[in-house]
Amino acid sequence: MEEYKVLIVEDSPTMRQLIAFSLKRLKNIKIVEASDGVDGLKKLSQDAFNLIITDINMPVMDGLKLVSLIRKDAVYKTVPIFIITTEGGQEDRERAMALGANAYITKPISGPQVLEMVKNYLNIK
Amino acid sequence: MSRGGHKTSPLYVFLDIAIRDDKISCLDIFRAIAYHFIKSEVYQMEKKEEKERNIFERAEEFLQVFKKGAEFTQELLKTNEQLRYRILQLEEESRSLKTNPASPDKQYEELAKQIEALKVEREEVDHRIKEIESENKDFAIRYVEVEEENNNLANLYIASYQLHSTLDFKEVLQIILEIIINLIGAEEFGIFLLDEKTHELKIMASEGIDETQVPSINMGVGTIGRVAKNGEPYFMEDMSDPSKIDWMNPMVAIPLKIKEHVIGVIVIYRLLQQKKNFTPLDHELFTLLAGHAATAIFSSKLYSESERKLSTIQGFIDLLTK
């Protein structure tokens, strides 16, 4: 069975745990956590990921900067990126999508909703 | 041959001449008679042969007729056999009709009854399908509800896990802020704690607001003071975004209680742009979270105080022993 690797970049440990908890309902999934954009880049350089979930407002490096850097990397040009954020404005959404995000989810999140989206993007039935 | 014919035959003419002419010898006469008899015999034989030939031809014809007759007889026998078989079939049908005297009308009635029974059965099946469809719909609704409950339980589990993961007071407050932003969906809010000496509620941590502008609140005064006094949560009915924040009258005020003892109030002034209202599940979750938050705050406060006391005592001991 194929193993899917998901990177969660989020400064809030509660949110990281919550997202990881929702995704762990999938059997063949490995979750790696990072606490900010720089930590996320470090984890990306150490392993190959099938999907990236990131917050926007984070210390050291924010999520939007992280998305733009990821998209410049040929390896991660097509890997799905989900943004999970408190920023609910249309401009924020458009900016994130223009930088190369695949989905924009606003907080508070629904675990089943995130799970369904991940399943769709990874083609898990 | 007629008598007249004899008189004109060559032998008769020759004998007539021979009688009247004595120049013809007896030998010639004998020869003539012999020739006549031989000729006559040959003629008779030819006649006989012809007759036999005719008989043979007729026999051939008869044989042909007989063959055709035989073929015809065979065909007749075959037809006869077929007819006998048909008779047997008809006799069988007749016997079955005699033993099963159902008339076409009866058969029709039976078929009509069967059709009616099938119609009833079909209606029952249709009814059952509708019931199952309805059950499925109920299951789908229930599934969504269970998923929501499951999601809230997961939120609660993670929040309580995080809240009780530390005994550092400031860290606990930070975790509460994080939970309120991420799980409740609040944008502007604060945590008020009760000062046991002055009986005032003072803001200890906040998000999105200027703490210096928030006044201390006396027990029983305003919405926050009443919540602290009564120990009952408050949810504004219309949570549409207020144009101006009233520090004394927030959208939501949840008491931080340990059993019946109120130690503070979590106050929400504004929800996130995308969070339009609180659902009944949100109320439940928020109330449960407040319970865990209160315990975490109380424990960390006690721990901090005991640490402080311990450090003071340790200082005295060090002074005395040195």
pLDDT over 50 at B2, yes or no: no
* Closest by CA position to A104, among listed A119, A115, A124, A89: A89
Which residues of B are less than 8 Å from A106 in CB distance? 272, 274
Which residues of B are less than 8 Å from A89 in CB distance? 273
What's the one-letter identity of residue A26?
L
pLDDT for the residue B246? 78
- E-state strands within chain B: 186-195, 200-207, 217-218, 234-235, 252-258, 261-271
pLDDT for the residue A11? 92
The complex's ipTM? 0.86
Instruction: Write out pLDDT tens, residues B186-198.
Output: 999 999 999 988 8
pLDDT over 50 at B3, yes or no: no
pLDDT for the residue B5? 52
Minimum mean pLDDT among A83-87, B9-13, B43-47, B271-275: which range? B9-13
Going by C-beta distance under 8 Å and a sequence separation of 6 or more, which residues neighbour residue A12? A55, B178, B181, B182
- Residue B317, Cα to own-chain centre: how many angstroms? 81
% of chain B beyond a pLDDT of 70: 94
pLDDT over 60 at B230, yes or no: yes
| Stretch B85-98: mean pLDDT | 87
Instruction: Write out pLDDT tens, residues B155-165.
Output: 888 888 988 89
| Stretch B204-218: mean pLDDT | 89
Instruction: Write out pLDDT tens, residues A30-78.
Output: 999 999 999 999 999 999 999 999 999 999 899 999 999 999 988 888 8
| Facing residue for B162 by CB, picked from A13, A86, A108 | A13
| Stretch B51-64: mean pLDDT | 88
The superfamily in CATH containing domain A4-122 is Response regulator (3.40.50.2300)
CB B165 within 8 A of CB A17: no
| Helix (H) or strand (E) segment spanning residue A97 | helix A90-99
Domain ranges of chain A: 4-122
pLDDT for the residue A10? 94
Residue B216 DSSP class: P
Chain A CB within 8 Å of residue B281 CB: no
Question: Is B183 in Cβ contact with A88 (below 8 Å)?
Answer: no
pLDDT for the residue B245? 75
- Mutate which: B147, B150, B158, vs A, most A CBs within 10 A: B158
pLDDT averaged over every residue in chain B: 86
Which residues of B are less than 8 Å from A88 in CB distance? 272-274
| Stretch B266-285: mean pLDDT | 86
Pairing of strands B234-235, B252-258: antiparallel
Chain A residue closest in CA terms to B272? A86
